[in-house]
Structure 1
């Protein structure tokens, strides 16, 4: 059985608008650093540096949110794996047997821990995807974070569906099936 969780386009549009507002504010730090001297940082140079760093971060965030607009499905949950496409930098298909632990992270996220350090980057990943993974999760080699911010369902429903599929996969893996007798064994038993 496969469950699909779609994006909420209204939330994506709201995220784009917020990223634009913060990007404009960070550009304002670059263009008029003297305006923020008393309120924020003590020198124009620090304000310009802050504005440049913030501009790069919010521009990357804006691009990553815009790239979600054409996508319909964010997460696919099956008995064998989960496919995460909920962010631009998401790694895609993750098998349940690669995961050691699943836990709730703050109010809107779920964190998956890998049994061994997983190669998160693929050869096709660009610098932006690597930067965004690092910016959202400092332990990106040991775990990934799936957020419900842009999804149609809330975090409780998402967590329930994920943990249900994870438990089901572990149960199937640990279930011991009776051995089927070999044809020679079957003949010996009849005589």
Structure 2
């Protein structure tokens, strides 16, 4: 027994029979404790940046579209901004499809702006892409502009029945938000 203690070198001191040093265990324990401490500090900082419950509640909107007749539009609210939901007539669909996309400032077809199987339902944000005014044309009796869609009274932008910019200073079409049909008569926006 005395011989083994006399032959131990600083490199082999504290080494167990399976080759692990006590120092290795202490290093692993210290790094683990530092990692847990770091998580304890970072987690509250990151979690406070998560949206509050009132923001999450406003992050999506359900709209019942069953009462909208062809040629009518309604206004709803999505994320504190106006949302236009319009049921297109067959004539409006034909007129929108007849426009050559190469002639448009922001070229998009009606199919790109609507969901498959629901080409008659156009859902757009009711915010002009020029300076953020609310265009007219969604309510009964409002001016719809030269192309039968929407008209922005602030600076004179005209949108067609597919919500595409056709005349005026607006650089882009009315934005189509993320939405899906949860049934044949209900859409969920957001």
TM-score (norm 1): 0.28
Quick check: which one's helix share is greater? 1
TM-score (norm 2): 0.28
Q: Which has the larger radius of gyration?
A: 2
Choose between structure 1 and 2 for higher RCO, CA contacts under 8 A separated by at least 6 residues: 1
